[in-house]
Amino acid sequence: MDSFIRAAESVCLPKGSVSRQLQALENQMGTRLLHRTTRRVQLTQDGLVYYDRCLDLLSMIDDMEGLFQHNPATLSGKLRVDMSVAMATNFILPRLPEFFQHCPGVEIELSSSDRMVDVIREGFVTV
């Protein structure tokens, strides 16, 4: 399953973490998202629907961000983010100084762990 290896490498995580996260997502959704064989991995019908909906959501987020584009120096507020330790260490932390130069009014509360986070219960998203 070298596609899992490539996916893991692209986000600097061990292959096992990617497999566990996918399994947790499939358990949460109550369906198989990927059909795995020894030779290939492909989306199931439910996986294709889930993928398409995720693309729609990401597009909507991009659209919303465009509605509220301001001068980054005038942005302010608190941003709470949780991510894997590898993502924080390899991608986010090295770029924070530059981010704070562009957006000095933004306060970031960053937590990182390699466990599944309930973003609503732990206060990362308010509903």
Q: Which of 28, 54, 22 is nearest to 41 (CA)?
A: 22
**pLDDT recorded at residue 94:** 92
CA distance 28 to 102: 38
Q: How would DSSP label each residue in 57-80?
A: HHHHHHHHHHHT---GGG-EEEEE
CA distance 14 to 71: 38
**Looking at the predicted structure, is the pLDDT value of residue 124 above 70?**
no
Q: In 10 A of CB 44, how many CB atoms?
A: 15
Which residue is associated with the tokens 């465009």?
66
Fold exhibited by the domain 70-127: D-Maltodextrin-Binding Protein; domain 2 (3.40.190)
Q: Categorize the per-residue pLDDT at 117 as very low, low, confident or very high, splitting at 50, 70 and 90.
A: low
CATH 1.10.10.10 domain range(s) in the chain: 1-68
CATH 1.10.10.10 assigned to domain 1-68? The reply is yes
Q: H helices within the chain, ranges in order? A: 2-10, 15-29, 45-67, 85-87, 96-102
Q: What is the mean pLDDT of the chain?
A: 83
**Looking at the predicted structure, is the pLDDT value of residue 127 above 50?**
no
**pLDDT recorded at residue 9:** 84
Q: How do residues 31-83 score in pLDDT, each as one tens digit?
A: 999 998 888 889 999 999 999 999 988 888 887 777 776 676 677 888 888 78
**Looking at the predicted structure, is the pLDDT value of residue 126 above 60?**
no
**For the chain, first and last CA: distance in Å?**
38
**pLDDT recorded at residue 70:** 66
